[in-house]
Chains A and B, each alone.
Chain A
């Protein structure tokens, strides 16, 4: 009934347990923060607004246009929503969308839900939002700049989210790095164009019809930092193998387990009977170690930031 908009809803079974757990931790930390921000910024209006917007994103994902050869352009919507509602409400909205898709339509897994929301909501939306706000700031203040910002933001949002998805699959040992990365990213370089076109056209429509809804929302600096963090983290992952040729402890573990039959205690292994013959395992394991490091460090960072900012508990801050 509902066509999978993106090849990004990871089902259960495709992420290893440790990766899934990291995904949930990241997601919970970010969501708790986002919920608090929306309460501050949108007040009482937030529940009907975010609820309707979640239903809207769900319905808008069905609107498509033919591109060529039976394929069609679709919308993921995270960037669009972040431009209209700001990044924090976007995160809540996308949480609802991706969550309902997983539970009601079996589109994406339950244990994989953490990373699915992080990929399609947090990473996608924050990258799109950051690029959009940054470009509209440095470019001349015209509507065309707004379109350029939204277009590039939307395109990047899909591409970066697909890189993140591919890396999670690689770390889980579900696919080979040199196969899944070009495949996933290649497809989404194209899908991203559809996303960009629809996003720009929608912004243009709203600009002509209700320009007041396009006023930027205040106080979103945290969002930018998270997005920049993700982008730096992902690029470090790519650079690291060439920067550091000596495998250290963590890599060793991954490497060793890669060759050994790991039936003993799979919950704690990161790469169950898995090796990559095409690329030197040094590089591969460095990348893996890099990703794990990045994820652990960013979760820690977020945790610390959360605890440091903690205020008296109100009804809304019950852990998710």
Chain B
């Protein structure tokens, strides 16, 4: 298991990525993230947020540039280790829940790691408790509501002690109370590095210390949350609103 107290840093240098159909989704993006930093990635629809997240654990590989996690560059050799360090929650929870029962979905990662069934059980129960879904282990994933699915999807990455949590639109589709619960939950992850792609600027203001703006695949602003999200002209220029 990874050691949660050891410093893990994300370092992205000159990332350029083009989809196979020719669409340039990321253009020369560079940033470094310190351990335990809480970073928001904001930007209009199609600006490349999800694409960037998929680079963090090597699901997509840049045509140019290097990404290193804790000093380890992503390559075929390191891929699987990096995937144990980086927990990624997808934009659409339906893509992530492919087992019949909630329990099996949450148990996927530790089982893949090769843990014993009793360890797996402890971790699943712990993860479900963290997202306030203790009673759900025997529920059928497919029949859950969107908000419930989103919370289970979050639980699926809390079982491997990942030190980087990358969340794609975690608050989309949640009712106000579920959204407040989510913010409260995310605020408890003080040990982990958090990367959140979102359109929910209030969530950014509440949770994140740093914000990065993407526009048309380019990194156009990077700085402390207060200086970015309250800068009306900057935000509006890139299709965003101040909270």
Say whether A and B bind each other.
yes
Contact B142 A204 (CB under 8 A): no
Q: How large is the interface on A (under 10, 10 to 19, 20 to 34, 35 or more residues)?
A: under 10
* A246 at interface by CB-CB < 8 Å: no
* B100 at interface by CB-CB < 8 Å: yes
* B143 at interface by CB-CB < 8 Å: yes
Distance (whole angstroms) from the CB of B192 to the closest CB of chain A: 30
* B187 at interface by CB-CB < 8 Å: no
* A3 at interface by CB-CB < 8 Å: no
Chain B neighbourhood of A210, CB < 8 A: 142
Instruction: List which A211-261 residues lie within 8 A (CB) of chain B.
Output: none
Complex Cα distance, B142 from A205, in Å, reads 10
Interface string of B129-169 (1 = CB under 8 A from A): 00000000000111100000000000000000000000000
Distance (whole angstroms) from the CB of B96 to the closest CB of chain A: 15
Question: Which chain A residue shows the least CB distance to B141?
Answer: A209
Task: Name A's interface SS.
Answer: helix
Q: How large is the interface on B (under 10, 10 to 19, 20 to 34, 35 or more residues)?
A: under 10
Complex Cα distance, B99 from A317, in Å, reads 42
Complex Cα distance, B140 from A54, in Å, reads 26
Interface string of B76-110 (1 = CB under 8 A from A): 00000000000000000000000111000000000
* A208 at interface by CB-CB < 8 Å: yes
Instruction: List which A156-214 residues lie within 8 A (CB) of chain B.
Output: 204-205, 208-210
Distance (whole angstroms) from the CB of B21 to the closest CB of chain A: 11
Distance (whole angstroms) from the CB of B212 to the closest CB of chain A: 33
Distance (whole angstroms) from the CB of B69 to the closest CB of chain A: 24
Chain A neighbourhood of B140, CB < 8 A: 208-209
Complex Cα distance, B19 from A128, in Å, reads 39
Question: Which chain B residue shows the least CB distance to A206?
Answer: B100
Question: Which chain B residue shows the least CB distance to A210?
Answer: B142
Distance (whole angstroms) from the CB of A139 to the closest CB of chain B: 23
Chain A neighbourhood of B141, CB < 8 A: 209
Complex Cα distance, B105 from A205, in Å, reads 12
Complex Cα distance, B100 from A205, in Å, reads 5
Question: Which chain A residue shows the least CB distance to B100?
Answer: A208
Chain A neighbourhood of B99, CB < 8 A: 205
Distance (whole angstroms) from the CB of A146 to the closest CB of chain B: 15
Interface centre among B99, B100, B101 (most CB of A within 10 A): B100
Complex Cα distance, B142 from A209, in Å, reads 7
Question: Which chain A residue shows the least CB distance to B99?
Answer: A205
Question: Which chain B residue shows the least CB distance to A204?
Answer: B100
Complex Cα distance, B142 from A208, in Å, reads 10
Distance (whole angstroms) from the CB of B135 to the closest CB of chain A: 18
Chain A neighbourhood of B143, CB < 8 A: 209
Chain B neighbourhood of A209, CB < 8 A: 100, 140-143
Chain A neighbourhood of B142, CB < 8 A: 209-210
Question: Which chain B residue shows the least CB distance to A63?
Answer: B98
Chain B neighbourhood of A204, CB < 8 A: 100
Distance (whole angstroms) from the CB of B85 to the closest CB of chain A: 22
Complex Cα distance, B101 from A209, in Å, reads 8
Using CB atoms and an 8 Å cutoff, list the residues of chain B in contact with chain A.
99-101, 140-143
Known: A205-B100, A209-B143. 4 other contacts (CB 8 A): A205-B99, A208-B140, A209-B141, A210-B142
Using CB atoms and an 8 Å cutoff, list the residues of chain A in contact with chain B.
204-205, 208-210
A-B contact pairs, 10 of them (CB 8 A): A204-B100, A205-B99, A205-B100, A208-B100, A208-B101, A208-B140, A209-B140, A209-B141, A209-B142, A210-B142
The 10 A-B residue pairs with the shortest CB-CB distance, nearest first, are: A208-B100, A209-B142, A205-B100, A209-B140, A209-B100, A208-B140, A208-B101, A210-B142, A209-B143, A204-B100
